[in-house]
Amino acid sequence: MKALVLQELVGPAGLHYVDTPEPTADDLVHIDVHVAGVNFPDLLLMKGMYQQKADPPFIPGSEVCGTVVRAPVGSAWSPGDRVSALTTVGGYAERVAVDPGLVVATPWQLTDAEATGLLINHQTAYFSLVIRGGLQAGETVVVLGAAGGIGSAAVQIAAALGARVIAVEKREGVEEFVRSLGAGDVVRAEDGWAAKVTELTGGAHLVIDPVGGPHLEEGLRSLRVGGRLVVVGFAAGAIPTIAANRLLLRNVSTIGAAWGAYFLATPGALATVAAALEALVEDGLRPVLTATYPLAEGRAAVELLEAGGVVGKIAIAVR
């Protein structure tokens, strides 16, 4: 089969489009991959910078949508089923083998490309907003990095759940995009942006922060009394520290949201979140895929992500 194999831990420059053996394990679900998502954790793994490690050579790719080829006896899956799966590695290939517990049915309303967008980004966003953040309809939610993968998913989901959404984004030319996802206001991520959020809202109930760096401090300033800030990641590169007196004096909370660690340790969590997202799809939510690349050109997709040029979700079309 054809695959993108990472030969060195140097990021997308280490990817090579080559022939490689198909997976053979009998206890896994074998999936013909139609579309593979491209995510920030994939990039970190390719650089040896992710909390999980993989030694090269290996096939990156942490999420796929496709069709079951074969499955273990007694599993919930049969040949021909349309499925979506979390793979950790192996997704940038024509076929992948996955633990049956990491496979979910693809909503019939979505194409495989759209459904790829419903995986890591939307699952992480729902987990951060609802399970960790305790979002309630009518609350004000500030989303940092709102045009990125997790940010755009968080804007969509928060709006679908009845929140007022304030998008914070540093890039030019993305305002129309984030407004189309459901953001009511868009604030430039520049010095003192928290004051603008407070001016607009009186203070946020909930901040979703996949960016980190100095923006976390601003996020705390943007909260009203009793507000919550959910730490999702550190796309800015720097891992910030928090002065605990800020939490104490302002009666605010910071909350961690590591979706992968949670669902691996919590039986049924993946199925629960997948069902919640499917209900939103039934109500009209559609993940936004802004670009696809053929498998042979998949390196370019990861290079775009590395350069900070991705708006919304991009993917690799395998078939």
Q: Sketch the domain layout of the chain as residue ranges.
A: 2-118+287-317, 121-260
Does pLDDT of 241 surpass 90? no
Rounded Cα gap, residues 178 and 283, in angstroms: 20
The pLDDT mean for the chain works out to 94
Rounded Cα gap, residues 255 and 31, in angstroms: 36
pLDDT in tens, 265-294: 999 999 999 999 999 999 999 999 999 999
CB contact at 8 A, 311 and 304 = no
CB contact at 8 A, 97 and 90 = yes
CB contact at 8 A, 120 and 62 = yes
Q: Where are the alpha helices (DSSP H) in 202-268?
A: 215-221, 244-250, 259-265
Nearest Cα neighbor of 210 from 138, 139, 127, 293 is 127
The CATH classification number of 2-118+287-317 equals: 3.90.180.10
CB contact at 8 A, 150 and 132 = no
pLDDT level of residue 238 (50, 70, 90 thresholds): confident
pLDDT in tens, 175-209: 999 999 999 999 998 878 999 999 999 999 999 99
- 121-260: which CATH architecture? 3-Layer(aba) Sandwich (3.40)
